[in-house]
Amino acid sequence: MTDKRPLLRAIFDAAVAAAHPDRILAEHLPPPPRGRILCLAAGKAAGALAHAAERHYLDGGHIDPARLSGLATTRHGYGMPTRRIEIVEAGHPVPDEAGMKAAARTLELADAAGADDLVLVLLSGGGSANWVAPADGISFTQKQAMNKSLLRSGAPIGEMNTVRKHLSRIKGGRLARAAAPAQILTLAISDVPFDDPATIASGPTVPDTTTLADAREIVARYQIKADNAVAAALNDPRNESCKPGDAAFARAQFKIIARPQESLDAAVAVARNAGYEVVALGADLEGEARDVAAAHAQIALKAHAEGKKLAVLSGGELTVTVRGNGRGGPNQEYVLALASLFVNTTGICVLAGDTDGADGGAGNPTDPAGAMLDQRTFAKMRELKLDPKSYLDNNDATAFFEATGDLLMTGPTLTNVNDIRIILVDP
């Protein structure tokens, strides 16, 4: 059988390229204001967004360099060279002290903006972890512990961010409150299902309709252990987020410049050009990774039995309820679940990866982006006598795919529009 890995990677790479800041940002940047441009950026694409903004305003001759400044906070290893906008690398998915200091400085810079200035906020996925500003009464260690518990709970990103917004001094519209009365323009790369502005980086510049009561309900429903300080904060009315109609948003605009659907469309185009009939399941899928894998396997196995040449593509952000003590993320777990379901089937191959280049992991730029699966994987399984189910039971997809040599290693991609999952069926 022809090696399909180059095609799998080409489909994935097309999705990533469609959302890269170098390609998408410039056309959305406004003319300079009467005052300064203050660029405040957060997330895995923050370094690349800041770099692209500088190129537009400085190399394009739009502004005197002295009128441009700012601070961009991004994931460790995702920095870019800049001239006027400082880059800080910070922890993700678990916040660290660098992110806390950068968030405090971000709030100070926003607070100093005047009515003639433009506060240009550039956001992407990862901003919630990069900008960590614990609510009064919560220590950094307590905020870290809560974030770890949320990540292990199996809660979808929107619900995690509901809790985060009510434990923060920067999220849930509070950055806009700090920046007023300056003009505020937020340009965002969406990494959330249905592109909800209040969920991207936990909505630092937009109104929030969720409440403290919602946050408390989520903590209770997922049986997340909250220490006394966190519980007290979630009961303190002063930690309510900024609601629609707040004066903070009088001069604030928000625009999404890249969406998961656009990246999925780019992936679909490559698959079709390669001669596959395509079943596109949408860019907003949520759910437990192994359950979604089982549903997708049924589609692929039916097509295989019918002799169809089919590509099954999907986006969205899956979750893993961690019960074991292994390593991995939802993309690796999705592929691991398929390893059991496809083990005796030829002509099917899989790639699932996070478009930011990191799927779970320890917060390092060398973390895997996901995993691949094909006949080479099955041969290695037989050779090493690997049981994919036992690894799945321990949530240890990384160890499994390290052994078979099938981890997807992309390095930092400098963008983030959620996951891309690809199943190719060849008759």
CA 20, CA 24: separation in Å to the nearest integer? 6
| Banded pLDDT at 1 (limits 50, 70, 90) | low
Residue 24 placed within a domain: no
pLDDT(409) > 90: yes
Give me the number of domains the chain comprises.
Answer: 2
pLDDT(200) > 70: yes
| Banded pLDDT at 93 (limits 50, 70, 90) | confident
Answer left, alpha or beta for residue 182, where phi above 0 means left and psi between -120 and 50 means alpha.
beta
Residues 215 and 250 in one domain: yes
Tokens of 387: 């049981």
Residues 268 and 139 in one domain: no
Residue 284 placed within a domain: yes
The predicted pLDDT at position 192 comes to 86
Q: What is the mean pLDDT of the chain?
A: 95
Q: Are 403 and 377 in contact (CB under 8 A)?
A: no
CA 295, CA 350: separation in Å to the nearest integer? 14
The predicted pLDDT at position 144 comes to 87
Residues 268 and 229 in one domain: no
Residue 113 placed within a domain: yes
CA 338, CA 377: separation in Å to the nearest integer? 11
Q: Which of 215, 235, 258 represents a domain boundary (last residue)? A: 258
| Banded pLDDT at 168 (limits 50, 70, 90) | very high
The predicted pLDDT at position 244 comes to 96
What's 293's domain CATH number? 3.40.1480.10
Mean pLDDT of 364-371: 94
The predicted pLDDT at position 111 comes to 98
Q: What is the pLDDT of residues 188-199, one digit of tens each?
A: 999 988 899 999
Letter string b/e over residues 324-352, b meaning 16 or more CB atoms within 10 A of that residue's CB: eebbbbbbbbbbbbbbbbbeeeebbbbbb
Closest to 130 measured CA to CA, from 113, 162, 105, 155: 105
Mean pLDDT of 81-85: 97
Residues 65 and 151 in one domain: yes
Residues 306 and 386 in one domain: yes
pLDDT(361) > 80: no
The predicted pLDDT at position 47 comes to 98
Question: Residues 6 or more apart from 157 whose CB is under 8 A from it?
Answer: 191, 192, 193, 199, 317
pLDDT(89) > 70: yes
Give me the amino acid identity at 271: A
pLDDT(60) > 90: no
The predicted pLDDT at position 91 comes to 93
CA 406, CA 420: separation in Å to the nearest integer? 16
| Banded pLDDT at 85 (limits 50, 70, 90) | very high
Q: How do strand 419-425 and strand 252-258 relate by DSSP bridges? A: unpaired
SS (H, E, C) the chain: CCCCHHHHHHHHHHHHHCCCHHHHCHHHCCCCCCCCEEEEEECCCHHHHHHHHHHHHHHCCCCCHHHEEEEEEEECCCCCCCCCEEEEEECCCCCCHHHHHHHHHHHHHHHCCCCCCEEEEEECCCHHHHCCCECCCCCHHHHHHHHHHHHHHCCCHHHHHHHHHCCECCCCCHHHHHHCCCEEEEEEECCCHHHCCCCHHHCCCCCCCCCHHHHHHHHHHCCCCCCHHHHHHCCCHHHCCCCCCCHHHCCEEEEEEECHHHHHHHHHHHHHHCCCEEEECCCCCCCEHHHHHHHHHHHHHHHHHCCCCEEEEECCCCECCCCCCCCCCHHHHHHHHHHHHCCCCCCEEEEEEECCCCCCCCCCCCCCCEEEECHHHHHHHHHHCCCHHHHHHCCCHHHHHHHHCCEECCCCCCCCCCEEEEEEECC
pLDDT(260) > 90: yes
Question: Residues 6 or more apart from 284 whose CB is under 8 A from it?
Answer: 193, 194, 260, 261, 315, 316
Residues 225 and 280 in one domain: no
Mean pLDDT of 373-395: 96
Residues 168 and 268 in one domain: no
The predicted pLDDT at position 157 comes to 84
pLDDT(277) > 80: yes
Mean pLDDT of 37-43: 98
Q: What is the pLDDT of residues 94-107, one digit of tens each?
A: 889 999 999 999 99
**246 burial via Cβ count (<10 Å: 0-12, 13-18, 19+):** middle
Residue 20 placed within a domain: no
Residues 309 and 226 in one domain: no
Residue 140 placed within a domain: yes
pLDDT(407) > 80: yes
pLDDT(373) > 70: yes
Tokens of 427: 């008759």
Q: Which of 205, 223, 258 represents a domain boundary (last residue)? A: 258
| Residue 310: half-sphere exposure toward Cβ, Cα within 13 Å | 18
What's 203's domain CATH number? 3.40.50.10180
| Banded pLDDT at 231 (limits 50, 70, 90) | very high
Tell me the chain's radius of gyration from C-alpha atoms. 22
Q: Which range, of 35-39, 192-196, 221-225, 405-409, averages the lowest pLDDT?
A: 192-196
pLDDT(334) > 90: yes
Tokens of 218: 């989520």
Angstrom distances, CA of residue 68 to CA of 116, 180, 336: 13, 18, 47
Q: Which of 190, 223, 258 represents a domain boundary (last residue)? A: 258
The predicted pLDDT at position 68 comes to 97
| Banded pLDDT at 360 (limits 50, 70, 90) | confident
Share of the chain above pLDDT 70, in %: 100
Give the rounded distance of the alpha carbon of 187 from its chain centre.
15
Q: Are 337 and 294 in contact (CB under 8 A)?
A: yes
| Banded pLDDT at 147 (limits 50, 70, 90) | confident
Residues 128 and 238 in one domain: yes
Q: What is the pLDDT of residues 104-119, one digit of tens each?
A: 999 999 999 999 999 9
Domain span at residue 290 reads: 5-13+261-425
CA 201, CA 178: separation in Å to the nearest integer? 17
Residues 211 and 275 in one domain: no
The predicted pLDDT at position 396 comes to 97
